[in-house]
Amino acid sequence: MADYLPILVMAGVVVAFVSLSFVASQLLAPQRPNAAKQAPYECGIVPETEPAERFPVKFYLVAMSFIVLDVEIVFLYPFSLVYRGLGLYGLVAMGVFVLVLLVPFAYLLSVGALDWGPVRDLVQRMPGPLLRTNRAMLVPEDAEKEAAA
């Protein structure tokens, strides 16, 4: 117990400081709200209209997938430095790690989560079936039937 006493004292000091800071800011801060203080801060620009729409979920999906891939790279770099010292166990562990992170990323790619903007338009104009769709976009037999009709 004596080994953990400094940690407990430090945790107590932190909690006391945070609590005291919140109480002091509430008691000492001037309480004079007005319209300018209640408005969201936009880098000095006064908003003239409400935002048109919220960001689509795909933006957040792309951001989260990049964060996951960044975390994967952070763990793969030290692994590559000590690869020979880890042996077969390290190789299997990192293989499982990569598989766990790349399978969801492959799923996102297969359902088209990253296909937006100009890339989506190009994919829609491509002739021939795509593997990730359950229907063909352009089948030559159908085109001949439509031309004959």
The residue extents of the domains of the chain are 57-148
How high is the mean pLDDT in each 10-residue block of the chain (149 residues)? Answer: 90 97 92 78 67 72 82 85 86 89 81 68 63 55 58
| pLDDT for position 129 | 55
| pLDDT for position 86 | 86
| pLDDT for position 18 | 97
| pLDDT for position 148 | 62
Q: Which CATH code is given to the segment(s) 57-148?
A: 1.20.58.1610
Maximal C-alpha separation, the chain: 91
| pLDDT for position 131 | 54
Q: Give every CB contact of residue 128 below 8 A, 6+ residues apart in sequence.
A: 136, 137, 138
| pLDDT for position 15 | 97
